[in-house]
């Protein structure tokens, strides 16, 4: 049985990370930007798991649990902020949040 080489996994992760980064840059909807960030975090997770199974040790996989927990906590706070903004503004477009000039 041939196994898939490690570089393929890493390439997929790198592509995912790039897609996530581009999403954050291009999209202007706060929720979609959040999705892009989740994608980036999951790309990092995939990389960690790949190396972990390649090295035959657990450290990387345990790190993934930490990342997942942190991502969940971050999403909870982030969505609360987005909901609050939506109540006042009735829009999710971050470009409209321009009281403070960038």
Regarding 60 and contact with other proteins (CB under 8 A), the answer is: yes
Return the C-alpha torsion angle 83, 85, 91, 96, nearest 10: -150
CB 44 within 8 Å of CB 51: no
Please report how close the Cβ of residue 52 comes to other proteins at its closest, in angstroms.
8
Determine the distance from the C-alpha atom of residue 8 to the mean position of all C-alpha atoms in its chain, rounded to a whole number.
20
Distance CA 24, CA 49 (A): 24
Q: Which is nearer to other proteins, 1 or 53 (CB)?
A: 53
If the CB atoms of residues 12 and 67 are measured against other proteins, the closer one turns out to be: 67
Choose between 1 and 50: whose C-beta lies nearer to other proteins.
Answer: 50
Question: What's the closest the beta carbon of residue 26 comes to other proteins, in angstroms?
Answer: 13
- Residue 5 φ/ψ, nearest 5 degrees: -65, 150
Instruction: Examine residue 99 and tell whether it contacts other proteins (CB under 8 A).
Output: yes
Residue 99's nearest CA partner among 85, 82, 79 is: 85
Residue with Cβ nearer other proteins (1 or 77): 77
Q: Map the footprint of other proteins across residues 17-46, applying CB under 8 A.
A: 17, 20, 24, 30, 33-34, 37, 40-41, 43-45
């Amino acid at each position: 049985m041939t196994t898939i080489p490690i570089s393929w996994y890493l390439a997929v992760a790198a592509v995912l990370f790039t897609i996530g980064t581009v999403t954050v840059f291009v999209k202007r909807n706060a929720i979609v930007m959040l999705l892009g960030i989740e994608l980036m975090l999951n790309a990092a997770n995939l990389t960690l798991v790949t190396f972990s199974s390649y090295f035959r040790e657990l450290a990387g996989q345990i790190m993934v649990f930490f990342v997942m927990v942190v991502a969940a906590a971050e999403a909870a706070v982030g969505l609360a902020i987005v909901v609050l903004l939506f109540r006042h503004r009735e829009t999710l477009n971050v470009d409209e949040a321009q009281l403070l000039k960038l």
